Amino acid sequence: MSELKGYKGKIRDFLTQNQVKVGDLIKITSELTFSGILMPRYESGDESHIVLKLKSGYNIGIEFEKIEKIEKIGQVEIGIKNSQTIEKNEKLPKILLLSTGGTIASKVDYRTGAVTPALSASELYEAVPEIAKIANVDAEVLFSEYSENLQPDHWLEIAKKVDSVADSDYTGIIIAHGTDTMHYSSAFLSFALSGFKKPITLVGSQRSSDRPSSDAALNLIAATKFLVNTESTGIFVVMHQNESDDTIACHFGTRVRKNHTSKRSAFQTVGAEPAFVVYEDKILKNAQKEFFDGNEYNPKINLDTRVALVKYHPGFDSKIIESLIKLQYRAIIFEGTGLGHVGKTMYDSIKKAQENGIFLGMTSQCIDGRVSMTVYESGRDLLDMGIIPLENLIPEVALVKAMWVLGNSDSYDDIKNKMLENYSSEFS
């Protein structure tokens, strides 16, 4: 019975007796009095709490044994009304919004607790009406996945869709994306679509749309403003600059990473300021140079996933490298210590990998700075074994770039040359 999804035993009987179901607005009298929406439970949840979504948007668990009284005080309207009549202003630019499953504009189904994309044209304008004053938006759902479930095959699908509108009249493209792996997707698109003649923004939300502190609408509005006002092209990640609502940062897709689990300002450009900042109606430029602006657009939408990102640590078992050799991996990206080092216990396995023609690249565990393997003897030893220092490539970006390079190269020399070439501002 979905009306009481996840509730079991005596709690389920109690809710049934009081004619309360998931999605109802209820008041619970316990040690304190709480009002909110009765939310479903996960099947693996305990059997001693009732979960309410408060007006603040946060959920709270109330211990069943301490409940004195429960009463239904209303019914929550499900989803977003599609009552708004949209009159497009033909004078405004047109942009395309592709959803991959992020909650940039979403609605909550209080019967299931699910947050689902609200990306029909009417739902989008209903959720973020400010957009209608900036641009006409066509919206399409490519797939609905949490970003941790997105795989390289999804990157290919996004890239092919974007490439299909390269000659369209869209001013720019927004890709709504979950935040956890957004910098992997932005890196691949930066390489596969290098030279694309329209700006592309990946936009996410650190906090879901049902919370007052949500950054979803603000990020989406800023991304739209950026697309219609910038003269730059390329791939950008657009997220909050800080915890205020005044500034939204536009990061190069190859120089950004998620550095915090929950802050709205989780995304940061590594080693520099964001390429651009959207402040009110102004686009402020920090980038000194944009390498992709002069590129000829020649999409290369291929990849090879036989690449490993190996994070070195004391106690690392070098047999892992030998397993990668047996699995016929074609590249290993090391995330080494400091200036680009790994322990000497790995040397024999590294030599075997090099003898098997595997590309070996070195990045650093350090958040900022540049690999420099000539400073210390251990670094010079690794250079002699064939490891290629990858300057200040972010480890995740180096992984994605290697996948892309392998998908477009055959010879070792070609792989090495492409890994060291600056295609989309990946080296700063």
The domains located in the chain, with CATH, are: 2-75 (2.30.30.520), 94-294 (3.40.50.1170), 307-420 (3.40.50.40)
Q: What is the pLDDT of residue 28?
A: 93
259/244: higher pLDDT: 259
pLDDT grade, residue 41 (50/70/90)?
confident
Q: What is the pLDDT of residue 113?
A: 54
- The answer to whether the CB of 362 falls within 8 A of the CB of 387 is yes
Whether the pLDDT of residue 96 is over 90: the answer is yes
Mind listing the pLDDT tens digit for each residue in 384-416?
A: 999 999 999 999 999 999 999 999 998 999 999
Q: What is the pLDDT of residue 102?
A: 61
pLDDT grade, residue 22 (50/70/90)?
confident
Q: What is the pLDDT of residue 81?
A: 46
**Residues 178, 181: Cα–Cα separation, whole Å:** 7
Q: What is the pLDDT of residue 391?
A: 96
Q: Which residues are known catalytic residues?
A: 103, 179-180, 258
b/e per residue, 317-335, with b = 16+ CB within 10 A?
ebeebeebbeeebbbbbbb
Whether the pLDDT of residue 72 is over 60: the answer is yes
Strands 331-336 and 359-364: parallel
Whether the pLDDT of residue 124 is over 80: the answer is no
For range 131-147, the mean pLDDT? 88
Whether the pLDDT of residue 94 is over 60: the answer is yes
Residue (of 353, 360, 310, 354) closest to 335 by Cα position: 310
Two tokens at 97? 């919004």
For range 125-141, the mean pLDDT? 85
For range 288-300, the mean pLDDT? 72
pLDDT grade, residue 40 (50/70/90)?
confident
Whether the pLDDT of residue 115 is over 80: the answer is no
β-partners of residue 285 are 276
10 Å CB burial of residue 428 (0-12, 13-18, 19+) is: buried
Best mean pLDDT range from 2-6, 92-96, 292-296: 92-96
Best mean pLDDT range from 186-190, 229-233, 283-287: 186-190
Best mean pLDDT range from 13-27, 48-62, 83-97: 13-27
Whether the pLDDT of residue 241 is over 60: the answer is yes
CA 44 from chain centre, in angstroms, equals: 27
Whether the pLDDT of residue 166 is over 60: the answer is yes
Q: What is the DSSP letter of 84?
A: P
Two tokens at 178? 């979950």
- The answer to whether the CB of 128 falls within 8 A of the CB of 105 is yes
pLDDT grade, residue 129 (50/70/90)?
confident
Whether the pLDDT of residue 291 is over 60: the answer is no
φ/ψ bin of 315: left (φ > 0), alpha (ψ from -120 to 50), beta (otherwise): left
Sheet bearing 234-240, strands edge to edge: 136-141, 94-99, 172-176, 199-203, 234-240, 247-252, 276-279, 282-285
Residue (of 383, 198, 408, 395) closest to 302 by Cα position: 408
Whether the pLDDT of residue 106 is over 70: the answer is no
23/199: higher pLDDT: 199
φ/ψ bin of 420: left (φ > 0), alpha (ψ from -120 to 50), beta (otherwise): alpha
Mind listing the pLDDT tens digit for each residue in 321-365?
A: 999 999 999 999 999 999 999 999 999 999 999 999 999 999 999
Contacts of 341 (CB under 8 A, 6+ apart): 312, 373, 376, 378, 379, 382
Mean pLDDT of all residues belonging to the chain: 88
For range 112-134, the mean pLDDT? 69
Whether the pLDDT of residue 202 is over 70: the answer is yes
